[in-house]
Structure 1
Amino acid sequence: MSEKKRLHPVAIFISSLQGIKDMIFPYVLVLIFNGSKGNIKTNFLLLPLLLVLLTAVFGFLKWLTFRYWMEDGELRMEYGVIIRKKRYIPLERIQSVIVSEGLWQRLFGLAKVRVETAGSNEIGKADAELTAITKEEAVKLQKEIRRKKVKGAAEDPALGEAVSRGGAPDLEHAEDEEWETVFTMNMRELFLLAVTSGGVWGVIAALLAFAQELDDFISFQWIYREALFFIHEDILLVATFVILVFLAAYLAAIAQTMLKYAHFTVKRGKEELFISRGLLEKRQLSVPAHRVQGIMVKENIIRKLFGYATVVLVSAGTSGEDKYEVSGEIVIFPLIRKNQIGRFIRACLPEYTVEIGFRPAPKRARWRFIIKPVLVSVLPVCLAVWFFRPWGWVLLVLVPLSAWLGHLAYRHSGWNITGDQLALRSWFVTARTAYLFRHRIQSLEISVNLFQKRQNLGNIQANIKSGIGIAAGRGNNLDGGDLQKIYRWYSRTSREA
């Protein structure tokens, strides 16, 4: 693959579409500005044609000037319409290769490849992106990177030590590695995932953000006055409207989640995990086992009540597109029964032990868990009761609900040490259980406030590498003696290192 290659011509069309998409909002603003001057018809016809022409020309020039090839163990690129740039990425330094198939790539049998290294420092931006190449080229690139990384691990002692934590490198079989399917989701599980995802808040937030962008150009005062009129005249009509908005957002969130996680599959190789998902856009992600920093089990309130959870891997690399992958948290089991987590983790990462007992927070800490959410909720609830009278009193039910959530947080809190593995449990919005190896923990923090000190309680936080930042396992209001045990367990290894 030493000869210089262009992307597939479909990249021109994809680049042009992206450019048009980026210009839609500015175009709407120009249309609104000039609409009051009587030029709306002229702008409506001429401006879109000009924008399409400019983006098509720029997309063609971008495709024409882009070249990529592999030479001397590096992925090399030349690009730039006005200013020519060259980029060389050593293959052994590449942390992740993400192969995805969007709608246009799938129509033409192509793939999109994103390459990232430890130097990726801008959220959502990869070190290299090949928008449209053949699947054969994508597979060849993946195999070459894997072969080079394994070879580099065999030659470089530092890199070899890191790889050996996930298993000894096997250069001879690196390219013909066999994959074993360890996890899939059926339609029923996919639907349950979508129903319990809570994505409705993301849809509503997007609508509010869009409305905020238009606030300077559209008078919302009239809408606000009309809304107040309806509130005073017919509370039932307002309630019906609000319910319909939430229902529409909920259905949109369900559809979005089902499209995103359709055909979710996890496969296990000798040295890495392979995750694929998506209906309209098929995404594939390779996760080297030695890059996994820890495991997080997350349970929102609905899933916890029905015995389900989501399991994510905390990785030192980033993928750049998905909000979880940007933070270094890669979903490995989107929805799984809690009593099945241990079996699937053994199949994927046998070095971790998740079927363990937890030492709970002491009984004297129970009221601290309960009082905190109650105090947080009292003031907003009282204000809501006042502003939404006479029906606002219904919101008083949120106070005992907060107390109940605090009790659940107390029941969930705990810790465990099994050999070189630390497990911490906490609850803030969602229940989280972190499984971390001692040599992966970057720092251990113990904090005790004045009120906790009187009861010999404290909080603990174990920090690990995650994407471009830090992730953490937490334990709240644990016994002071237990905190010292965890600290001695960790500091002993620090002194030995």
Structure 2
Amino acid sequence: MRINENIVRQWLGYGSVSVESAGGSASNKEGSKVLLLPLVKLKDIEHILGPYLTEYQFTSSFTSVPKKAMNRYIFRSWYIVVPLVMVSIVFFKVWGLLSLIILALVTFWGVLKYKDAGWSLDDHQLSLRYRSMVRTTVFIRKNKIQSLEMRESYFQRRKDLATLEAFVKVGFGGAGGRVIDMDRMDVRKVYTWFSREAEKRD
């Protein structure tokens, strides 16, 4: 189950809901992805879909990534923009200062991505929230997770952070979600939760 919200819809409290499930065919690889509600008030999703999708918990309570991760979200948004801003100021002088507006916007976007990132866990479901161009919330049933990955870069290890990525088989492709810079202990908690299910399958 996936909820997508662009920035305008998010501020207005609206989003779109789609379901991704195994069942696509070779002739219709997208047949496993179904848009259920193209535009719906977020607070109404559970009321509308709850009676039919009783196995899902439409949680609105997420554990945020730690505060120490915010600088990393901002820094990633600066990769390309900061060099361009510096070049603009050097070559265009006063007019180049206008590029600082772009720097402010991408910094705001980095903070927004940090604020949107989070996760939630119960006995049978993993929920992940993250932002690229739109804010995405995925609800994944435990027995549908094909694999779970925990990754750590050198700089993440220095701050006890890690990236969690869940994969779900969907037809002939794949789906899932990823939250960057979670607290390492939180990632291990999710990994332990999933490992118990994997042991049952074995």
TM over 0.5: yes
Native 8 Å contact 1:345 1:352 kept in 2: no
Deviations 1:157-176 (A, max 9, x none): xxxxxxxxxxxxxxxxxxxx
Native 8 Å contact 2:150 2:162 kept in 1: yes
SS at 1:355 equivalent: coil
Shift of 1:458: 0.4
Deviations 1:211-237 (A, max 9, x none): xxxxxxxxxxxxxxxxxxxxxxxxxxx
Q: Which of the residues 163, 167, 178 maps onto 1:459? A: 163
Query: In the alignment, what sits opposite 1:139?
Result: none
Native 8 Å contact 2:32 2:170 kept in 1: yes
Q: Which of the residues 4, 10, 14 maps onto 1:308? A: 14
Query: In the alignment, what sits opposite 1:334?
Result: 38
More helix by share: 1
Query: In the alignment, what sits opposite 2:23?
Result: 317
Q: Which of the residues 59, 70, 80 maps onto 1:376? A: 80
The yes-or-no answer on 1:347 pairing with 2:27 is no
The yes-or-no answer on 1:488 pairing with 2:184 is no
Query: In the alignment, what sits opposite 2:69?
Result: 365
Native 8 Å contact 1:327 1:468 kept in 2: no
Shift of 1:422: 0.5
**Aligned equivalents of 2:72 and 2:31: distance in 1?**
30
Native 8 Å contact 1:422 1:436 kept in 2: yes
Counterpart code for 1:308: Y
Counterpart code for 1:404: F
Native 8 Å contact 1:320 1:326 kept in 2: no
Counterpart code for 1:330: V
**Aligned equivalents of 2:123 and 2:93: distance in 1?**
57
The yes-or-no answer on 1:445 pairing with 2:149 is yes
Q: CA RMSD, aligned part only?
A: 2.6
CA distance 1:348–1:411, change in 2 (3 Å): same
**Aligned equivalents of 1:382 and 1:327: distance in 2?**
47
Query: In the alignment, what sits opposite 1:432?
Result: 136
CA distance 1:379–1:438, change in 2 (3 Å): same
Shift of 1:355: 2.8
Counterpart code for 2:104: P
Counterpart code for 1:304: Q
Q: Which runs of 5+ in 1 are unaligned?
A: 1-294
Deviations 1:141-161 (A, max 9, x none): xxxxxxxxxxxxxxxxxxxxx
CA distance 1:348–1:321, change in 2 (3 Å): farther
Structure-1-length-normalised TM-score: 0.38
More strand by share: 2
**Aligned equivalents of 2:86 and 2:130: distance in 1?**
28
In the TM superposition, 1:132-151 aligns within 5 A as none
SS at 1:348 equivalent: coil
**Larger relative contact order (CA 8 Å, sep ≥ 6):** 2
Native 8 Å contact 1:299 1:432 kept in 2: yes
SS at 1:347 equivalent: coil
CA distance 1:395–1:345, change in 2 (3 Å): farther
Structure-2-length-normalised TM-score: 0.88
CA distance 1:450–1:314, change in 2 (3 Å): same
Shift of 1:395: 3.7
Shift of 1:321: 9.8
CA distance 1:383–1:486, change in 2 (3 Å): same
Larger Rg: 1
Counterpart code for 2:3: V
Shift of 1:393: 4.5
Aligned residues: 201
Shift of 1:467: 3.3
CA distance 1:417–1:450, change in 2 (3 Å): same
SS at 2:59 equivalent: coil
**Aligned equivalents of 2:30 and 2:87: distance in 1?**
37
Shift of 1:427: 1.3
Query: In the alignment, what sits opposite 1:472?
Result: 176
In the TM superposition, 1:93-492 aligns within 5 A as 295-318=1-24, 326=30, 328-382=32-86, 393-492=97-196
**Aligned equivalents of 1:489 and 1:398: distance in 2?**
42
